[in-house]
Amino acid sequence: MNKAASSEGEPRIEITPPRLLGPGAVLAVSAYGLVLVVPVFISMLAVSVMRLGWPTFAIPAATLAAVTFFLPLGFGNPHVAKLVRALGPAPGAEPGGWAVQLTCTPRLRAGLRALLDDADDVGLLCFEPTALVFRGDSVQLRVPLESIQEVRRRNIGWRGLFVYGHRTVVVAPGLQNITRLEFSERCSWSLPGSRKASRQLYERLRQAALAQPVDGET
């Protein structure tokens, strides 16, 4: 176990071997990608035996639109949310929270695991009155709000076809050699839900870092 600090007033991180998110769980999450691949394959197979006409263009286009709409489902978010619920919230944190993935810079994972999944861990992101708390499968993270230097959004790029909800980047010194934390929502099933959840997560983190209350939280 690695500890970045022992003081309650400083950022700290604890890293242990994965308990729930082992190789089997990573493969299970990756297998959800078939939900996106199979419809595309079937549509291509269907138009290959059809006479050229408007349906040969409309069917693939409609399939791609439907696949894009359910992009978060193809990312395995239902399985991730199930794993996160098994972890439970951090003691002392406010009710609620977000099922998120955590990606660190530099990465905590390497090899095949890092190729299959761009997450270093998944867990529940909650807030204490003076700190954000991430309770993950293998990472326990507490960052005092006063230590946060920057909160910004970042597009996840090709992996999310440039349309998936943005990641929220948090810069807070004092976490060993980790220079940046990236949180991505993993609770949605549809693209509109992902974009909405990502926007709410960013606003919650930004407002928390500014020590301002957030009205209308859900």
pLDDT tens track for 158-178 = 888 788 999 999 999 888 889
List all residues 6 or more positions away from 217 whose beta carbon is below 8 Å from its beta carbon.
96, 204
The β-bridge relationship of strands 150-154 and 167-171 is antiparallel
**pLDDT at res. 111:** 75
**pLDDT at res. 41:** 93
- Written as six digits, the tokens of 91 are 């003691």
CATH of 2-26+75-209, one of 2.30.29.30, 1.10.287.1080, 2.60.40.420, 2.60.120.10: 2.30.29.30
CA–CA gap between residue 68 and residue 60 (Å, rounded) = 12
Kindly give the interhelix angle for 34-48 and 54-69, rounded to the nearest 10 degrees. Answer: 180
Domain ranges in the chain?
2-26+75-209, 33-73
Q: What is the pLDDT of residues 101-156, one digit of tens each?
A: 999 999 888 776 767 778 899 999 998 888 999 999 999 999 999 999 999 999 98
